[in-house]
Structure 1
Amino acid sequence: MDRQQQAAFLDSEREIHDLRFRLLDVRIGQIDRFDADEDFAAIVTKALECGLGKEELLAELPCSWSTVTRWASGQVKPARIARRAIKAKLIEMLGRKRSEHIEEARHLVAA
């Protein structure tokens, strides 16, 4: 890969990270506006769409993957106080993912 191709590649990578960063901002805002009692399935679904993976979620939430998928489908909901805590945890996790994208973009700029 010559210098021009390398520069074009890095520009593309920066653009991808910028788009991911912006999408996460939008999704975090959407999740934040959702009511934990009324829109719990949508909260979980949006978090999954943002790339929170099975391993990440299970490391942070005291439940099974089947429980997470039932939440996302709206089949079941945890208790009200738990819904609010889970919503806060998902927003926190997405904020960390957002920060990771910022760091990756900074490394690309430095390259």
Structure 2
Amino acid sequence: MSNPISWNQALEAEHTPKEYSFRAADIPEGSYQATLDFKIWADKVTGISCYFTKADSGEKMLLTVYRDRTTREYVLGDTDFRDSPIEALYNIEVKHNSKGNAKLVSATPVN
């Protein structure tokens, strides 16, 4: 299991966050498999920025898991992103919300 890291720690670990798109037009809607490459504490929101690579195409995307205001947890379904595995394959579902932004709806590690 792995905790989110800071931006500087990601760069020190030779991750390349700028290669990952957060633009909805670059992030396909639907259910597919993607590898969670690394995760960083979000800068301007209370969340965890998850850096995924789509398994079938290699597309790199940034999706955020926001902290639930009630439980104060970073959980989608059964996955707690504070300590979810990185460099692991996930079944994810992405939808575009009413503002046109890509939203991570579900993410479950593939066993």
Common fold by TM > 0.5? no
TM-score (norm 2): 0.32
Q: Per chain length, whose mean CA-contact separation is higher, i.e. which structure has more relative contact order (CA < 8 Å, sep 6+)?
A: 1
When Rg is computed on C-alpha atoms for both structures, the one with the higher figure is 1
TM-score (norm 1): 0.32
